[in-house]
Each structure stands twice: as structure tokens, then as C-alpha cells.
Chains A and B, each alone.
Chain A
Amino acid sequence: MIEQYTITNKYNFPQPNIDTLLPQRFFEQSLHSLQRVHQQPLQLNTAIQRLHTTEQYATSLQLKPQPITLKPDRQGTTITAADTSTIKVGETITGILVAVRAATAWRQDGTYRYTRLGPFIFHVTEENKDQLYNSLEHAYFSTTCNSMHQPTPNIMQMPMRLANLLERWLQIMLAKTVTKGILLFDGSLTAGTPETPPQRLKEILSCARKNGSTVLAFSKATTLRANGVLITEQLPSREPPYLLETAGLHSKPPQVLLGNVYVARLNKANIAFRLDVDKEVLFEQQIDAIQKLLGNDIYTQGYPETLRLSHILCTFTANEVLAIKHFITRKHGIQIINRPDMHRLLFGPYGYKGEAYA
């Protein structure tokens, strides 16, 4: 813990005593990892194996037939959102080069603002991945994989895990700094996965509650089905905005569901999203929070603009990937090589995997 604020002093939020070391640690670890990469050839490749942990639930899920009608509440409320993005820049003979970036966006008094952290670039190798990941875990969450009896992620999982680490840090920072606001998360409120231990998400939700804020987590896509049909595809013919409550949803251990799951259709666009709301918050307060979101944010496609912005701002564009390559070539003397792509070599045009800008 530190007393002085380094990165956070740039935020417009109230600033309690929180650990703000993580971006600094990200920076340090990034530089440290890149020291080893000097003069190594780099094979460009942006394909990331997205090793998402599949959420597992008992299958007795039902949608309550009566929708909850929502009325926008225009009482001034700060809406904040956080998101991270990661990209594999390429491979070296000993590991991979990864870029991670986080963004937080907020809407206050009708104006959107944002802060972006990064990109942080890491050279992840078999040799350094344990040290890299554990030192970051320890820096903020005071845990390590060993202490949680978990194996260190493998190299291919590292990009997502590093991004997740940064995202959780950003979320807890928002939870600690925003008072009486709405915190928008990307994804669900399911914990107990390797990247999100239950205690970590519980701590975030608890911090938010203490500050009078409510966490709303929007999933862009869901696999949840009721009676065999996706829950977001069972919309009643009712004037939006409204919520559909779910019942009978139970997570399978060790996963734990920390939110109440709804289907939210926020405007006339025929798109609905899975919405998880902190279940420790009273039902009325949950509905209040969603109505405040409706009254304070723009949601042209049924998705909160603040969350959309945080996602857009942290995403790497092709131009940025080129810039990162330029950076590592110039600053770290990495020689970019172009090894033949085996998929392309063997399968011609059918070997294209959709990755761009390699």
C-alpha cells in the first residue's frame, strides 16, 4: 500500500487510500520482460487462442413471464465502465509478445470522459511467466497462484489472464472511488473461474456497495437457454424498456454466481442482453440502478454507451498494432521475420483463419 497517488491522481473521482501500484507494476514488469527479448527475431502473428473459461450452470433456468417495466430515472448519477483488451503481437523463439490495454469511461453531467492505461507490452516466456504473473497478482491482490492452489496459466492463456488482472484492478479501483454511481462491467458476475477467484469479485462488489454504488454486468453474448432457446431471444411483445427475471439458475461448483441474472431490453432496437446485478443489493435498489442507467446514459442499440466506449477505447486497431511493432523494432531491436504460415502453406486460401494484420 502506498500513501501517495501516482496514476489515480489523474482521475476525477474522490480518492481514498487505495493501491494504485498496479499500472506502475505493469509498466515495470513489461520493461523487465522486454529486456530479455533484445535482438530476437519476431514472427508476426496476432492470432490469440481465446481460452475462455466456460461458465457452467444447472439447467433448470426459466424466464419469468411477466416483464418488469422500467422508467428512466434522470437523477444525476455517475455511470462508469471499465474494459481491457489484449493482443498477441507475435512470437519469438522463446515466447510471445503481448500487448494489454485498459480503458475506463464515465458519464458525468451529460459528458463522457475516459482514461486509458497502456498499452503495456510483455514478452512472455516459459521462463518468466510464473514470475510475471505472480508478481502482478501479488502486487495488488496479495495472492499468488501457489497461495490459491492454482497452476500458473500457460503461455497461450497469459494474454487473457494479464488483461483480466488489469480489468479486475480497474474495477476495484472504480468500486473504491465512485460513490452512489453505477459501475458497468463487461461480462457476467460469475466467479470461481481460474482468472476470477470468488473472493476477488466479492471484494469488488462489496466495495461498490459500501460506496452506495451498484454493479451492472452486461454480457454481449450468452449461452443461457430456457426451454432450449437462448434467453435473449425470448422477448415478449411489450413496449421497452423492460427486464425479464430468471429463476432456477444455479452455478456448478467451484463456480459461484454473485449476481441476479436478467434479460434487459433497454430500447426499441430488437436486441436484448444478459444483465447480472449484484445479488447482495436489494431488489428495489437493483431496479433503481437500472432505471438510473436509463436516465443517465445513451443506449441507442440497447447497450450502454459508457460501456461501449470503454470497450472501443481499449480495443487495438490495426494501426496501433503496426505502431507496437514499430516500437518493439526500434526500441528493443527485435527483428521481424516472416515465417511461412503452415495453414496457408498447406491449405492455401482455406488456411486463412481470419486474423488480420499479421
Chain B
Amino acid sequence: MKLYKKEGNILQIISFPTENAEKGDYLLVEDGYAGKALIAQVIDVQFAAVPGVLEELLRTLPDGGEPLQGEDIDPMEIAPHITYIQDASLLICKIRATLENDMLSPSSSWLPSRSQSTIKKLSTPLLIKLAKIEGKLPIILGGTKDSTLLTIDASSLDGTLNIITGKKGCGKSHLSKLLMVSLVGYKATVVIFDLNGEYGNLGVTNDGKRNLYYGKIHVFTPGQNFKVALEQLNLNTVMGILVNALHLPGTSAREFRRLWKSLKERGKLSMQELGEAIRDLNCNQHVRDALASRFHSFVNSGFFTDCLAEATLMDETLMKTKDAGGALVINLKNTSNVDRQIIVEYVLGKLVDSLQNWKLRAVFLFAEEAHLYLRETYWDDIVTRMRHYGIFTTFITNQPDTIQETIYRQADNIFLFNFTNEHDLDVVSRAARVDAETVHSIARDLPPHHCLALGRVVCDFPIVARVRALDIKTMGETRLFFKTVN
């Protein structure tokens, strides 16, 4: 390999067919005289502009247009050398860091010698070692192209905002499960908004046996084992549900607040009493109708109960996970859009409450396709206010444009799977810790189950890895009509 050009933080390197450099590979451009080296990542592989190639290709086409048939008698065997030159490639590389005295710095301001520099591939283990990607709390993400394990540090997910995105069926949920169980393994509290009911069996192996996490996975299915009594709720949480999820207007909200306080003072905070109180409320007809319709939404959700024995004490589970770690899977499968929003409002309100009171230290929240249940104003809330309380969110989506730009700009880690659509890639490249060229070039060619890890987890050295398999019962498979036929 030979250094050809440097423009900004882009290096162009000539590579010959035997050198086998591919997109995603890291190269070390060492200048012995300067005593420094550049670490650059291949983000694109192009044909080198070898002079005469066009003539070479065109001359086998006679005027008739059909390819010319013929034979080459080449006793000196020059042809392989011609092919070797013709197939030379130009590696477009992004400079990631400068290595000097075993220390990395993000600088790319110096120019290595074109004639004297040596260029060689930088193996992933060496890169991981130099960049200190591995930490004290390792999470094995998967294998890299050179068959080494990519291990990230769990603490690099701590206090961060993460995004897992990619095309449908490329392995996003699988990675989120891997991160989740790994965090649970380190005794973290994890909450998952499980839209498709696929996280419930994380405690069971593929062959149906209990695994390490069996006792730590707590599935909450609204209307079944997840119900709340009004008595357990504080007014702020209920108001949150009414205003944000059920869009109760201001005047009605004020009336409801009065009603709630009155019932609470009388010790009659139940669904039945609330229903009757709304029916008997002496106020404007529109206000009463508004409150009545919200009350029916409460009733229809099946999430609220007057039976305390039926009510789930989410606090207890959260307390359990505080010391031993665990995952609370909020199963949103088979719930209507309105019910989903009610439940999410409740859970988030509960988490904020627990965190505010230091009942919990921090929570890792995994939100799949969050645009389906998260109100718009919550996005900013999650990345700013809730982050400070200790809710560290990971968004998982196959529609990157449903996540607001502000979220991308503040994302600390992005796990990017394959995308072919330019628009999707444009959206992802808005992330502050990502450069657009890397995203566009590498993500487009990622095979299924391979992800490009970007951001803090890889110390800003984007690395492609095949996400490792998990011995857990998967439930995220798409139901197919022709499955038995095939």
C-alpha cells in the first residue's frame, strides 16, 4: 500500500489486489522519521485511476460492437502483472487519530511522508488495546471481520443516550436484547417498552431451560398482571396521563384536579367513586363530558382496578432490581394506541418518581419504535430532564426519521445496521459523533446481523462487528404464512 493523497482528514491510499483491504478496516500509516503514525479507517474502496485502463477495455470492442474473440500468447507471463495493475484499488480512508508514543490524539493536522511511510493493516485487537475500548465491565458485542471479539465497556452505556437503528430484520432487537441482558448481568435496572412482546422470554434458553437471567426478567402485561389502583397513584402521574396521553383540555384538567383532591380527602379514591363523582359533577356540560370520556378510556384500558390485591406494586419490583439487577419488560403487545400511551405515561412517571426520591440509582430504558407511544414533548424531556434523573435511554427503530433530530445530535452511541435508503442514512448522519461519509459508505454495505458501532462505546473508532448469538428464546420472528411450505 502506498500513500497517495491527503485532503483534510481524508487519506487516499493505493492498494494492490493481494493486500485485501476492505471497507471498515483500520490502517496504520507510520512515518518512521516523524515518529508518529496516523490511524485511518477505510470508508470506501474504488478503482485506482490507472492510466490506460479505458483504452484496455475499449480495444476489445471492434466497430461491430460485439466483444472481440482472441488469444494471447504471452510466454513471459506479463498478463498477471497487467491484471495486478488494472485491479489496483484506491482506498478512501478517514483519519481517526494520531498515534505518538503509544498515546492517541484525535489530531490529523500533520502530513506523513508519502515516500517513506509504511502502511499496514491495524488489527482489531491492537486497535481495541490502543483505544482502550475494553473496560472493567466488558460486554462482548460480537466478532469482527478478523475473527476477534469486539468487547465494549458497560460503563460506556452509563449516562448515555443510545440509538439502535437499521432496516427491518437486520438484528436490531437481537442487539438490544444482548445489551439488556449484559446490563442486567452487571446488576443494572433495565426497563423495556416491548412493543411486540418479544422480550418476555429472555430468562429462558432456546431449548426452554432457565438461564442465568431467569429470576431477573419481570414481565408486566397491562390488564393481566399489570394493573394499578388509583390509591397507588399520585396526582401528578394521573394528570400526566390525562393531559399528555388523553389530551384533556386545561379547564377540564383543573376540574379533575379538584375532584381528585376531594375524593382523596374523603378516602374514596377508587374507579367506582371517581365514575360516580364525574357523573354527579355540577359543572359545565362540556367539561363533564370531557371527564367522562377520559374516565371511560381508563375503564376500557383494563389497566386500573379497585381491587388492591390485583394491583401490581411496580415499586417492589424496582426495589428488587436495585440490588440484584433485573429487567422490567412492559409488554405493550395487543394494547391500543391510547392504552399504550396511558401505560407509558404511568411507567415514566413512576420511574421519575422513584429516581427523584433516590429509591433507584439509575435506569436503562429501552424503547422500541418509541414514536408509537411517546408524545412529542417527551423526546426532549428524555434526553435532558430525565437523563439528569438517571434514565438512560436506548431507542430502537427501523424508521430513523421518526426520532427527532435533537436526539441524534445528542446521541452518545449509535449501533447502525444496514440501510440502503439514502434518506435514512442522511437522518442518522446528523448525529454529532458520526461523520456522514462513514455512515453513508459503510452502513450501506453491512450484511445482516452486522452492526457499525459508533460513539463512546468504541471511543469514536467506528467498528463493524457481527452481533454474537444469544442462547435465549427468541420471540421476535415475523409470523409467516408460507413458513411451512418453505
Chain A residues at the B interface, C-beta cutoff of 8 Å = 7, 10, 23-24, 27, 30-31, 105, 111-121, 298, 300, 305, 308-309, 312-313, 315, 317-324, 326-327, 330, 356-357
A87 to chain B, nearest CB (A): 12
Whether A121 contacts B76 by the Cβ 8 Å rule is yes
**B residues 88-133 in Cβ contact with A at 8 Å:** none
Whether B62 contacts A10 by the Cβ 8 Å rule is no
Considering only CB atoms, which chain B residue lies closest to A103 in the complex? B70
User: How many Å lie between the Cα of A300 and that of B64 in the bound state?
Assistant: 10
B282 to chain A, nearest CB (A): 93
Whether A27 contacts B75 by the Cβ 8 Å rule is yes
Whether A119 contacts B76 by the Cβ 8 Å rule is yes
Chain A CB within 10 Å, residue with most, of B66, B82, B86: B82
- Which A residues lie within 8 Å of B81 (CB)? 323-324, 326-327, 330
User: How many Å lie between the Cα of A117 and that of B77 in the bound state?
Assistant: 11
Q: Nearest 6 pairs between A and B by C-beta?
A: A318-B52, A317-B52, A114-B70, A318-B51, A319-B52, A323-B81
The one of A7, A298, A324, A357 that contacts B78, using a Cβ cutoff of 8 Å: A324
User: How many Å lie between the Cα of A326 and that of B84 in the bound state?
Assistant: 9
Whether B50 contacts A117 by the Cβ 8 Å rule is no
B82 to chain A, nearest CB (A): 4
- Which B residues lie within 8 Å of A318 (CB)? 50-52, 55
Q: A317 with B76: in contact, given A115-B70, A323-B85, A326-B81 (CB under 8 Å)?
A: no
17 residue pairs A–B, Cβ–Cβ below 8 Å: A27-B76, A112-B68, A114-B70, A118-B73, A118-B76, A120-B75, A300-B63, A309-B62, A318-B51, A319-B55, A319-B82, A319-B86, A320-B82, A322-B50, A322-B51, A327-B76, A327-B78
Whether A115 contacts B71 by the Cβ 8 Å rule is yes
- Which B residues lie within 8 Å of A111 (CB)? 66, 69
Whether B76 contacts A120 by the Cβ 8 Å rule is yes
Q: A115 with B73: in contact, given A313-B59, A356-B51 (CB under 8 Å)?
A: yes
B202 to chain A, nearest CB (A): 57
CB of B74 within 8 Å of the partner chain: yes
User: How many Å lie between the Cα of A7 and that of B63 in the bound state?
Assistant: 28
Q: A319 with B59: in contact, given A113-B70, A116-B72, A309-B68 (CB under 8 Å)?
A: no
CB of B53 within 8 Å of the partner chain: yes
Would you give the 0/1 interface string for B130-147, flagging 1 where the beta carbon is closer than 8 Å to chain A? 000000000000000000
User: How many Å lie between the Cα of A121 and that of B84 in the bound state?
Assistant: 18
Whether B56 contacts A319 by the Cβ 8 Å rule is yes
The one of B52, B64, B75, B76 that contacts A112, using a Cβ cutoff of 8 Å: B64
User: How many Å lie between the Cα of A115 and that of B74 in the bound state?
Assistant: 10
Other contacts beyond A115-B70, A322-B85: 7, CB < 8 A = A10-B73, A111-B66, A118-B76, A319-B52, A321-B52, A323-B82, A326-B81
**B residues 242-292 in Cβ contact with A at 8 Å:** none
Whether B63 contacts A298 by the Cβ 8 Å rule is yes
Whether A312 contacts B59 by the Cβ 8 Å rule is yes
Would you give the 0/1 interface string for B185-207, flagging 1 where the beta carbon is closer than 8 Å to chain A? 00000000000000000000000
- Which B residues lie within 8 Å of A312 (CB)? 59
The one of A305, A319, A356 that contacts B50, using a Cβ cutoff of 8 Å: A319
B201 to chain A, nearest CB (A): 59
Would you give the 0/1 interface string for B145-176, flagging 1 where the beta carbon is closer than 8 Å to chain A? 00000000000000000000000000000000
Chain B residues at the A interface, C-beta cutoff of 8 Å = 50-53, 55-56, 59, 62-64, 66, 68-76, 78, 81-82, 84-86
Considering only CB atoms, which chain A residue lies closest to B71 in the complex? A115
- Which A residues lie within 8 Å of B82 (CB)? 319-320, 323
A33 to chain B, nearest CB (A): 12
- Which B residues lie within 8 Å of A357 (CB)? 51-52
- Which A residues lie within 8 Å of B73 (CB)? 7, 10, 23, 115-118
Considering only CB atoms, which chain A residue lies closest to B81 in the complex? A323
User: How many Å lie between the Cα of A300 and that of B65 in the bound state?
Assistant: 13
User: How many Å lie between the Cα of A274 and that of B85 in the bound state?
Assistant: 39
Q: A320 with B68: in contact, given A7-B73, A116-B73, A326-B84 (CB under 8 Å)?
A: no
- Which A residues lie within 8 Å of B66 (CB)? 111
User: How many Å lie between the Cα of A275 and that of B224 in the bound state?
Assistant: 99
- Which B residues lie within 8 Å of A323 (CB)? 78, 81-82, 84-86
- Which A residues lie within 8 Å of B74 (CB)? 116, 118-119
A332 to chain B, nearest CB (A): 11
Whether A298 contacts B55 by the Cβ 8 Å rule is no
Whether A317 contacts B69 by the Cβ 8 Å rule is no
- Which B residues lie within 8 Å of A320 (CB)? 52, 56, 78, 82
- Which A residues lie within 8 Å of B68 (CB)? 112-114, 309
The one of B52, B55, B71, B84 that contacts A114, using a Cβ cutoff of 8 Å: B71
Whether B78 contacts A119 by the Cβ 8 Å rule is yes
A130 to chain B, nearest CB (A): 23
User: How many Å lie between the Cα of A119 and that of B73 in the bound state?
Assistant: 9
User: How many Å lie between the Cα of A191 and that of B84 in the bound state?
Assistant: 42
- Which B residues lie within 8 Å of A330 (CB)? 81
Whether B69 contacts A113 by the Cβ 8 Å rule is yes
User: How many Å lie between the Cα of A194 and that of B305 in the bound state?
Assistant: 113
- Which A residues lie within 8 Å of B62 (CB)? 112, 298, 305, 309
Considering only CB atoms, which chain A residue lies closest to B50 in the complex? A319
- Which A residues lie within 8 Å of B56 (CB)? 317, 319-320
- Which B residues lie within 8 Å of A313 (CB)? 59, 70
Whether A319 contacts B85 by the Cβ 8 Å rule is yes
Q: A30 with B85: in contact, given A114-B68, A319-B53 (CB under 8 Å)?
A: no
- Which B residues lie within 8 Å of A24 (CB)? 75
- Which B residues lie within 8 Å of A298 (CB)? 62-64
Considering only CB atoms, which chain A residue lies closest to B77 in the complex? A327
Q: A116 with B71: in contact, given A319-B52, A320-B52 (CB under 8 Å)?
A: yes
A326 to chain B, nearest CB (A): 5
A114 to chain B, nearest CB (A): 3
Whether A319 contacts B51 by the Cβ 8 Å rule is yes
Considering only CB atoms, which chain A residue lies closest to B79 in the complex? A323
- Which B residues lie within 8 Å of A23 (CB)? 73, 75
User: How many Å lie between the Cα of A117 and that of B73 in the bound state?
Assistant: 5
- Which A residues lie within 8 Å of B52 (CB)? 317-322, 357
User: How many Å lie between the Cα of A313 and that of B58 in the bound state?
Assistant: 10
User: How many Å lie between the Cα of A309 and that of B68 in the bound state?
Assistant: 9
A314 to chain B, nearest CB (A): 10
User: How many Å lie between the Cα of A31 and that of B75 in the bound state?
Assistant: 10
User: How many Å lie between the Cα of A10 and that of B78 in the bound state?
Assistant: 19
B153 to chain A, nearest CB (A): 46
- Which A residues lie within 8 Å of B75 (CB)? 23-24, 27, 118, 120
Q: A317 with B64: in contact, given A115-B71, A323-B81, A326-B84 (CB under 8 Å)?
A: no
- Which A residues lie within 8 Å of B70 (CB)? 105, 113-116, 313
